[in-house]
Structure 1
Amino acid sequence: MNGNYASTLNINLDSLFNEHIKTLTSKKAIARGDNAIRLDKGELPYPPSLKVVQAIAETAHQINRYPNVLGGSLRAALAEYTGAKPEQIVIGNGSDDLIELILKIFLKPGDEVLLPRPTFFVYGFATRVVNGIPIKVDRKKDFSLDLDAIVHRVTPKTKVIFLANPNNPTANLEPRKNLIEILEKLDCIVVIDECYYEFCRETVADLVDIYPNLIVLRSLSKSFGLAGIRVGYAITNPKIADYLYRIAQLFPVNKVAIAASRAALKDREYIQDNIKQIQQSKQQLITALEELGLVVYPSATNFFFIGTKPLGITSGELVQSLQEKNVLVADFGGKQGLEPYYFRTAIGTPEENQLFLEALSSKL
């Protein structure tokens, strides 16, 4: 900044910020070293296919031009992949982008959003960003949905409910019949987040023609290995899709992301091979973790939710110990109504899994 100028204005900057934004926590950049065993974000441990890399390279010389509006040809490619109609697809800069867009079109300040907890933290964060009120409903002890509690918490101000299925961070899958029961009983917007669909192959996307208040979220971050590209999409009825696009940026995803996503959708054999490797490692990890005395909850995803209470050690202690060995997992102890004994870890490559188990064993 040039120090030759001094403002004569007396501005109270704090008075200009929206009050509800002041309550949000500051973000901090957390360094994750290149050599770290990164199991904390639920990422796919394998790189994208060579076809994706080639598509990115071929597109690089075109980035002086804007991408096509509304995701261009990617919308049709996702419709073909999902069996939906193109007009039912909405593309966003990751699912996080779509979560906020949904809340912007349905919430007024003071409206309520139901959040069965524990669940994906972005739902609550985005609700607060748009000045809505997160209403937390505890799940049952096995982390399944408490349907009676959900229905009981509905008020005239309830506008949206978010249901991650499989749930993040607990990895469990809610039966389809329970989701249909919620759709039958609630007249608010029901968002079912199927970010990990490819790992469980369970979906309610076929119901968007039956329930006009249903929005299904999907992602190319996890099973497609494109977390760094940031592409998510929604499947819903054309009217909701139209309104989401009305308030979205004209270019919701960049040109490189469109090319990479289209290439990934075409190379499904590579995707299935990666998922198969994850599934093969899964049972081996469960056995090894249980032999260490940890509680491993049922998982329909590429990650585990793990309890440390039987060992008399908090998850915070364990996570810190792993971090000192350059192994990163996510601590959920004491968060979202949980006791201080839970952490989440993704399934890595066989080599990463072995290093993770060795780091755990040295602490336990």
Structure 2
Amino acid sequence: MTLNLDTLEQWVSPSIRSLASKTVGPHKDDQAIRLDKGELPYPPSPKVVEAITQVATTCNRYPAVLGGVLRERLATYTGASPEQLIISNGSDDLIELIIKVFVQPGQQVLLPVPSFFVYWHATQVMGGVPVFVQRTPDFGLDVDALVAKVAPDTKVLYIANPNNPTANLVARETLVEVLNRVNCMVVVDECYFELCQTTIADLVDTYPHLIVLRSLSKSFGLAGLRIGYGIANTQVVDYLYRAAQLFPVNKVAISAGIAALKDQAYVEANIQKILAEKPRLQQALTDLGLKVHPSETNFLLVDTQPLNLQSKVLVKALQEQNIWVADFGSKPGLGDHYFRTAVGTPAENQALLKGLEVAISQSTSV
């Protein structure tokens, strides 16, 4: 039987056909200043490298089910019980898994915007319907507006805290108000917990509809290994694990995660470097005429409107200098004057500032 491509395309789920194709994107060489992904600019702990080397010889065997010892180490680190923890292939994997478990095709996922794009991408992949609710002018949560949007078909609400890309923190009492007023699963993404030290993970038993997401990507420097985890009521964790892959986290990542959690001093030292650099970078960007929003993370949201320049103009000019930041112009909930930059090493931050001087000069002289 011979099929033409039109017939084959009709077999693809409509929710997948509606998505844009992925592209490789511009090549970044080893000399690139990479501030676009919010990564830790420092390598992982030497103990992590040693653990990876040791486990490499046993990669012919499958990893432990449910994360093995890593789950126990995370329980000690977070204060949760092992049964309240689910480990995933990065928090992105867990974002999609939550939708798989709680959202049927055509049902709604509530998203205060601007926020992390993976929330609505995963919703669309799974056939759900993303519903955007605009944040307040200072990027806080408009609780009344959120509650007004909750419908019988609303099954999940995603709240990044601190928020990505705006870097601001929502107060605990505001999140508790949301939990008390909405009748759906509430996912609070605390990917940047180590930088802000603010959490509501202690409330997962008080509010069984609460799921807290965390990651070892940012502060622990393991972004390339993809280790995320969630904290929730034990019954919720049980259902999530039922739908998860049997081995969602690979053996190398598990060993690296265990080693990283053992070296808290190294993690804290890197966090202090970031926190020391952040105000210096904020001030320097402000001195260039840009508006920088307050940040509780390792990145800054920068508004280019004071220079009367669209963000895409500056981002492109920086790319031409092999400096990479993330353009958020015209993303859901934002106008066309925003880019996000990670706080890098002192040398990377200086390269960004010099690059911006050139980009601004070129753009304003046209």
Taking structure 2 as the reference length, what is the TM-score of the superposition?
Answer: 0.97
Q: Does residue 37 of structure 2 align to residue 44 of structure 1?
A: no
Mapping for residues 72-91 of structure 1, pairs under 5 Å = 72-91=68-87
1:307 pairs with 2:303: yes
* Equivalent in the alignment of 1:5: none
Residue 264 (1) aligns with residue 260 (2) = yes
Find the counterpart in structure 2 of residue 345 from structure 1: 341
State the match for 1:210 in structure 2.
206
Structure 1, residues 144-198: CA drift from partner, whole Å, max 9, x if none?
A: 1111110111111110000000000000000111000000001200000000000
Distance in 2 between residues matched to 1:337 and 1:42, nearest whole Å:
20
Q: State the shift of 1:300 in Å.
A: 0.2
Identical positions, percent: 59
Instruction: Name the counterpart of 1:4.
Output: none
Deviation at 1:14, TM superposition (A): 1.2
Alpha-carbon distance change, 49 to 10 in structure 1, aligned in 2, over 3 angstroms: closer
Tell me whether 1:127 sits opposite 2:123 in the alignment. yes
Amino acid aligned to 1:38: R
> Aligned AA for 1:9?
T
Assess if the C-alpha contact under 8 Å between 2:135 and 2:333 holds in 1: no
Structure 2 residues not aligned, in runs of 5+: 361-366
Q: What residue number does 1:285 align with? A: 281
Indicate yes or no: 2:21 matched with 1:26.
yes
Show the counterpart of 2:364: none
- Between the aligned partners of 1:284 and 1:19, the Cα distance in structure 2 is 48
CA-to-partner distance for each residue in 1:239-280, whole Å, 9 max, x for gaps? 010011101111110110000000000000000000000000
Q: Check conservation: 2:106, 2:127, Cα contact below 8 A.
A: yes
Q: Determine which of 242, 245, 256 is the counterpart of 1:249.
A: 245
Q: Aligned equivalents of 2:335 and 2:45: distance in 1? A: 40
Are 1:108 and 2:115 matched, yes or no? no
Indicate the residue corresponding to 2:188 in structure 1. Answer: 192
Cα RMSD for the two superposed structures: 0.7
- Aligned counterpart, 2:359: 363
Distance 2:116 2:219 in 1: 18
Gaps of 5+ in 1: 1-7
Aligned to 1:201: 197
Q: Distance in 1 between matches of 2:350 and 2:2?
A: 61
Match of residue 10, structure 1, among 3, 28, 43: 3
Query: Cα offset for 1:143?
Result: 0.6
Supply the distance in 2 between the matched residues of 1:266 and 1:94 (Cα, whole angstroms). 20
Query: Structure 1: which amino acid aligns with 2:143?
Result: L
| TM-score normalised over the length of structure 1 | 0.97
Q: Distance in 1 between matches of 2:161 and 2:333?
A: 19
- Identify the match of residue 177 of structure 1 among 161, 173, 179: 173
